[in-house]
Amino acid sequence: MTKIVNHWIGGKTVEGASGTHGPVTDPATGEVTTKVAFASVDEVDAAVAAAKEAYLTWGQSSLAQRTSILFTFRALLDANRDAIAELITAEHGKVHSDALGEVARGLEIVDLACGINVQLKGELSTQVASRVDVASIRQPLGVVAGITPFNFPAMVPMWMFPIAIACGNTFVLKPSEKDPSASLKIAELLSEAGLPDGVFNVVHGDKVAVDRLLEHPDVKAVSFVGSTPIARYIHTTASANGKRVQALGGAKNHMLVLPDADLDAAADAAVSAAYGSAGERCMAISAVVAVGSIGDELVEKIRERAEKIKIGPGNDPTSEMGPLITKVHRDKVASYVEGAAAEGCEVVLDGTGHTVDGFENGHWIGISLLDKVPTSAKAYQDEIFGPVLTVLRTETYEEALDLINASPFGNGTAIFTRDGGAARRFQLEVEAGMVGINVPIPVPVGYHSFGGWKDSLFGDHHIYGNDGTHFYTRGKVVTTRWPDPADAPAGVDLGFPRNH
């Protein structure tokens, strides 16, 4: 029987009334296993109304109440790591260990939210003028929305809602329609943890649901993570509707390898970061830039390692890499490899013909490695979002830096070297939001913020860390005078207030 995934509004599941559903596929078998309800405008309005109603009390609740619920949620999340990872694997396709990793990184943000009292501490200046004190405080915004991508169905929502609700906001999540089940499990755990009804809501759907969130007058802020064209659209539309927006987009992450690098360590890192999660990570390394004479040796080391990767269903513990999310996406990824030779690339490994016995209808593609890739090739210019690693060659560090900085994307980047001076130069000169030094996927820990530059992020705030608290609160400054009863009345003074 096909499973149905419904909305979560006001603390309970709500059947999709519009009657519109989308298919959810198991990428390993190609079978449609689930139907997900697509929200109409009325259903989105119902979720926003539930969140608005809940805000009346949640916005006034104490920090102690909010963090106590988050601590309970953290314990439930911890106990349910496997259950959530299984839901992710069944709909996304990534291997179980990778799905567990995503839950662990989401949990880091819940940790941060449990300690939100430290971040929400205000500032007080006493006696700024005679008997005058000034306090800066931060207050929640109200109803805020999150719109999230398919590739991290648990972690990316957890980049947003733990901080948003810890700050006193209420939340409406529109997860990816391709793998919606993890978000519903999270909603159930939040409810079990004692979160009042309506504080966290989930509406499933497509553009109809997203557009309603972007224009709804009661939604005060929108957090988005997804591809660059949609991120740009979300930023423009929500901003035009007067909302605060952070919209994180796509990426093309470069790994610069200097001639003095430990080439075995660099090859290990390149293979792990390029092919992990079948390349469907916004922080995946998709372009290695080999500087000087090391190119041939590095490519050979990458090839040796990449060839050994075991591809199979995500729920098989021996699999290291699973299938791609959809058949359409699989074919698109394959097209970059198929066209590569004609564009001047050297095809070292071609994974387009890969199949997995017993899973003939799965969305499989094998490992591809393209060498001597010109910057004009589509395989270099586009975000492929699949297991395709491109290698580019340059003579010097400066040439490599110029190449990386010319990319329209600026999410993550990495340098591999033993030279501290070169690494320091790179961290200051490279135009990207997250830099790894001998670290291929520099996803910041929860208490530092995550975000790219250029076409990888639209808006002023990175996500989580201090930026997250800032994004989900607004500042207020309170100036107070308590006159001494012995003071003579100040009298009328039409001059602009001065401090003395």
Of 148, 169, 253, 368, the residue at the interface with ligand NAD (CB under 6 A) is 148
**Would you call 104 helix, strand, or coil by DSSP?**
helix
Q: Which residues share a beta bridge with 143?
A: 170, 219
Closest residue by Cα to residue 323 from 128, 93, 488: 93
Query: Would you tell me how many other CB atoms lie within 10 Å of the CB of residue 290?
Result: 29
What radius of gyration do the chain's Cα atoms show? 25
- Binding window for ligand NAD (CB under 6 A); candidates: 15-23, 34-42, 186-194, 222-230: 222-230
**Would you call 147 helix, strand, or coil by DSSP?**
strand
DSSP letters along 77-133, please? HHHTHHHHHHHHHHHH---HHHHHHHHHHHHHHHHHHHTHHHHT--EEEEEEETTEE
Judged by CB under 6 A, the chain residues 440 through 459 that form the site for ligand NAD are: 452, 456
What is the rounded distance in angstroms from the CA atom of residue 163 to the CA atom of residue 169?
A: 9
| 210 binds ligand NAD, rule: CB under 6 A | yes
What is the rounded distance in angstroms from the CA atom of residue 296 to the CA atom of residue 319?
A: 29
| 225 binds ligand NAD, rule: CB under 6 A | yes
411/413 with CB nearer ligand NAD? 411
Judged by CB under 6 A, the chain residues 454 through 483 that form the site for ligand NAD are: 456
58/275 with CB nearer ligand NAD? 275
CA dihedral 254, 256, 257, 258 (to 10 degrees): 170
Q: Is 114 a catalytic residue?
A: no
| 230 binds ligand NAD, rule: CB under 6 A | yes
Residues composing the chain: 500
Size of the site for ligand NAD (CB under 6 A): 27
Taking residues 397 to 436 in sequence order and writing x for each that binds ligand NAD by CB under 6 A, - otherwise, the string is --------------x-------------------------
List Cβ neighbours of 32 (8 Å cut-off, separation of 6 or more): 2, 23, 24, 25
- Minimum distance, C-beta of residue 433 to ligand NAD, in the bound complex (Å): 9
Closest residue by Cα to residue 106 from 90, 128, 84: 84
| 176 binds ligand NAD, rule: CB under 6 A | yes
Closest residue by Cα to residue 421 from 404, 397, 403, 444: 397
- Minimum distance, C-beta of residue 458 to ligand NAD, in the bound complex (Å): 10
C-beta nearest to ligand NAD: residue: 226
| 349 binds ligand NAD, rule: CB under 6 A | no
Catalytic residue among 114, 167, 282, 345: 282
- Minimum distance, C-beta of residue 146 to ligand NAD, in the bound complex (Å): 9
Helices (H), 193-227: 207-215
Chain mean position to CA 366: 25
Closest residue by Cα to residue 83 from 12, 225, 184: 184
Q: Is residue 62 packed enough to be buried (19+ CB in 10 Å), middle (13-18) or exposed (0-12)?
A: exposed
| 206 binds ligand NAD, rule: CB under 6 A | yes
**Cα dihedral sign, 254-256-257-259:** positive
26/371 with CB nearer ligand NAD? 26
| 150 binds ligand NAD, rule: CB under 6 A | yes
Name the strand (E) or helix (H) holding 219.
strand 219-225
- Minimum distance, C-beta of residue 281 to ligand NAD, in the bound complex (Å): 7
- Binding window for ligand NAD (CB under 6 A); candidates: 28-36, 116-124, 171-179, 333-341: 171-179
| 21 binds ligand NAD, rule: CB under 6 A | no
Encoding tokens for residue 466?
């201090």
| 248 binds ligand NAD, rule: CB under 6 A | yes
| 266 binds ligand NAD, rule: CB under 6 A | no
**Cα dihedral sign, 414-419-422-427:** positive
| 169 binds ligand NAD, rule: CB under 6 A | no
58/471 with CB nearer ligand NAD? 471
- Minimum distance, C-beta of residue 16 to ligand NAD, in the bound complex (Å): 15
- Binding window for ligand NAD (CB under 6 A); candidates: 6-14, 189-197, 248-256, 356-364: 248-256
By CB under 6 A, name the binding residues for ligand NAD: 147-152, 156, 174, 176-177, 206-207, 210, 225-227, 230, 248-251, 282, 383, 385, 411, 452, 456
Return the active site residues.
282
